[in-house]
Amino acid sequence: MIASFDQLLLLWPDARKGSVLRSTLLTLLLAVPVLSGCGDSRAPDLEAVKQEIREKFPDVDHIPIDQLADWILQQRAILLVDVREKSEFEISHLENAIHSQQANEIHRLFEEGNFSEVVVYCSVGYRSAEMARLLGHQGLRSVFNLEGSIFEWANQDRPVHSSAGPVEKVHPYDAEWGKLLRRRLRAPLD
């Protein structure tokens, strides 16, 4: 594969002579990776994002979607916390989740509710990993960040809810991050 414009010019010396031909070659060289899906403008995949989050937050316990689903089926006493913005939560959230972006409130609810675990989530897991780290530093134990968060949950065709009941759409956060969510699941952005 040709790695640079200079390498292309070595293969086709006549291109050095004409500026129109040179411009055309440069345009093609830049367009091919983008058109083939290999360019830097492509959104990262969810697995890459999850790996990046694990690396950035090695001190946080992460829980996969399947394990949380099993815990829910077992009816474990889980404090499920959505740490996204209120507008994101209102469109949809995991059933029985509460909305909070306040570590002190989460800590208090955990203590008062006699829960066995806290599972925090957001869109893909970054904001929730930050919250899980904060809660851990405050001494709260059994705190987990949901890997892939609501995007992966919904992408696996697991149910999401609003205050009115089951829904099918998830707030995409923004146009770029929303690409990690299957198209039919994306709620419109304002």
- Whether pLDDT at 128 is above 60: yes
Question: Which pLDDT score is estimated for 7?
Answer: 45
Question: Which pLDDT score is estimated for 121?
Answer: 98
Average pLDDT over residues 4-12: 44
Question: Which pLDDT score is estimated for 21?
Answer: 46
* Most confident of the ranges 1-10, 20-29, 65-74: 65-74
Question: Which pLDDT score is estimated for 190?
Answer: 75
Question: Which pLDDT score is estimated for 152?
Answer: 98
Question: Which pLDDT score is estimated for 168?
Answer: 97
Question: Which pLDDT score is estimated for 26?
Answer: 40
Lowest mean pLDDT among 6-20, 49-63, 67-81, 156-170: 6-20
Residue 149 and residue 2: Cα distance in Å, rounded? 39
Least Cα distance to 147 among 52, 42, 78 occurs for 52
Q: All domains of the chain, ordered by start, with CATH?
A: 5-35 (no CATH), 46-185 (3.40.250.10)
Q: Note the pLDDT tens digit of each residue in 75-87.
A: 999 999 999 999 9
Question: Which pLDDT score is estimated for 114?
Answer: 87
**99 pairs with which residues across the strands?**
82
Question: Which pLDDT score is estimated for 44?
Answer: 64
Average pLDDT over the chain reads 84
φ and ψ of 41, to 5 deg: -80, -10
- Whether pLDDT at 65 is above 80: yes
Q: Note the pLDDT tens digit of each residue in 16-55.
A: 444 444 444 444 444 443 333 333 344 569 999 999 999 9
Residue 178 and residue 182: Cα distance in Å, rounded? 8
b/e code 168-188 from CB counts within 10 Å (16+ = b):
ebbbbbeeebbbbbeeebbbe
Question: Which pLDDT score is estimated for 38?
Answer: 39
Q: Which amino acid is at 147?
A: E
Average pLDDT over residues 100-123: 96
